[in-house]
């Protein structure tokens, strides 16, 4: 193809050529997607319905669940449909939208994790001024800034990606991924990849560095707490966030730092599925595993649901 204007559709790499196997992949993806959808919706419902959880930490957690729902919904539902129909074509505009929203949610995720690190820093290192520093207006401004910057950055990133010319419309991935789009470019690939690396590094390292510095100060403050009970309580509020940050960094690094190959690879598919599925699925589990407040709020929801079902089935008679 001489240039990108002639590209009207892209051909994605499917999981299998056999329709029976694709049906199996559809079932697996459906189960995983339903689990992630349910887990994140429960987190949102629990925090929204319990007034005791209307604090900055849980406000950020709700936004994290929204981002997780968005990020997994960008790729997995379309892959499920392709598996069921056994067709792997995607329109040019659909590919642009997929790149835009995937970058948007991943960027917003990084911004939000940075804000959550700052929240833990203030709560542990300066607890007396926590309510003043992290008041409602500040939290809303932080989250609003996250969404706005994410929208602008993803627009710039997607625009620069699709400004290149394409020599092929075959993408060696089950969704539109920027590294795979760069491989089918007619332009100087090394200059493009170098530009993408520099562009991403200017975003990633300052925020990741802020998270690291925040936890250095947090660790120093925790070690100065005289009682072991106090230290354990402080650590328990930080451990879920550290695990979530580790998942985000490790999954992203595996995807974008792995050696590139010009031929289709099962490793590319596995890694892409991991970083698309694991964080949205595991983040709710990580935050509920050792969080008593979330468990109590979820139990209240289940109790209300069980009670309403019983009341409907066995109405009281006077």
Distance in angstroms (rounded) separating the CA atoms of residues 164 and 42: 42
**Least-confidence region, from 203-212, 225-234, 247-256:** 247-256
Percent of the chain having pLDDT more than 70? 85
Partners of residue 185 on adjacent β-strands: 166
pLDDT digits (tens, 9 = 90+) for 17-51: 787 888 898 999 999 999 999 999 999 999 988 88
List C-alpha distances in Å: 127 to 148, 193, 266: 29, 44, 49
261 vs 48, residue with greater confidence: 48
Are 249 and 208 in contact by the 8 Å Cβ rule? The answer is yes
For residue 258, name the pLDDT band (cuts at 50, 70, 90).
Answer: low
pLDDT digits (tens, 9 = 90+) for 58-68: 999 999 999 99
pLDDT of residue 161: 82
Locate 110 and state its tokens. 């990084």
Q: How are beta strands 9-12 and 170-171 bridged, if at all? A: parallel
pLDDT of residue 317: 46
Phi-psi region of 86 (alpha: psi -120 to 50; beta: other; left: phi over 0): left
Whole-prediction pTM: 0.86
For residue 206, name the pLDDT band (cuts at 50, 70, 90).
Answer: confident
Are 175 and 29 in contact by the 8 Å Cβ rule? The answer is no
Locate 275 and state its tokens. 């970083």
Pick 4-309's CATH classification: 1.10.1060.10, 3.10.180.10, 3.30.450.20, 1.20.1070.10: 1.20.1070.10
Partners of residue 10 on adjacent β-strands: 90
Distance in angstroms (rounded) separating the CA atoms of residues 82 and 242: 35
Stated as kind and residue range, the H or E segment containing 136 is helix 136-161
For residue 3, name the pLDDT band (cuts at 50, 70, 90).
Answer: very low
Locate 54 and state its tokens. 């209307």
Of 107, 99, 82, residue with least CA distance to 29: 82
Locate 206 and state its tokens. 């300052």
Question: What are the DSSP calls for 262-318, one per residue?
Answer: SS--HHHHHHHHHHHHHHHHHHHHHHHHS-HHHHHHHHHHHHHHHHHHHHHHS----
Produce one character per residue of 69-78: b if its CB has 16 or more CB atoms within 10 Å, e if not. Answer: bbbbbbbbeb
């Amino acid at each position: 193809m001489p240039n990108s204007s002639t590209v009207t559709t892209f051909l994605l790499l499917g999981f299998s050529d056999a329709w029976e196997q694709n049906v199996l992949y559809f079932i697996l993806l459906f189960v995983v997607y339903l689990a992630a959808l349910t887990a994140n919706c429960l987190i949102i419902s629990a925090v929204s319905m319990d007034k005791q959880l209307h604090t900055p930490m849980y406000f950020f957690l709700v936004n994290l669940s929204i981002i997780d729902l968005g990020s997994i919904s960008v790729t997995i539902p379309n892959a499920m449909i392709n598996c069921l129909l056994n067709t792997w074509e995607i329109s040019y505009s659909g590919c642009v939208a997929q790149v835009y929203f995937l970058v948007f949610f991943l960027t917003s995720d990084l911004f939000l994790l940075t804000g959550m690190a700052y929240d833990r820093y203030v709560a542990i290192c300066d607890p007396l001024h926590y309510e003043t520093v992290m008041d409602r207006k500040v939290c809303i401004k932080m989250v609003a800034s996250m969404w706005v910057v994410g929208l602008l950055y993803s627009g710039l990133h997607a625009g620069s990606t699709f400004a290149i010319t394409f020599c092929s419309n075959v993408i060696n991935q089950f969704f539109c991924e920027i590294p795979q789009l760069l491989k089918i470019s007619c332009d100087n690939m090394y200059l493009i990849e170098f530009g993408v690396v520099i562009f991403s590094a200017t975003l990633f390292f300052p925020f990741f560095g802020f998270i690291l510095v925040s936890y250095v100060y947090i660790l120093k403050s925790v070690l100065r707490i005289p009682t072991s009970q106090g230290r354990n309580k402080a650590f328990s509020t930080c451990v879920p966030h550290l695990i979530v940050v580790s998942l985000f960094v490790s999954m992203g690094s595996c995807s974008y730092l792995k050696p590139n190959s010009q031929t289709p690879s099962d490793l590319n598919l596995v890694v892409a599925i991991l970083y698309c599925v694991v964080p949205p699925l595991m983040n709710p589990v990580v935050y509920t595993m050792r969080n008593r407040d979330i468990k109590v709020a979820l139990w209240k929801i289940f109790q209300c649901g069980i009670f309403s079902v019983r009341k409907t089935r066995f109405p009281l008679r006077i």
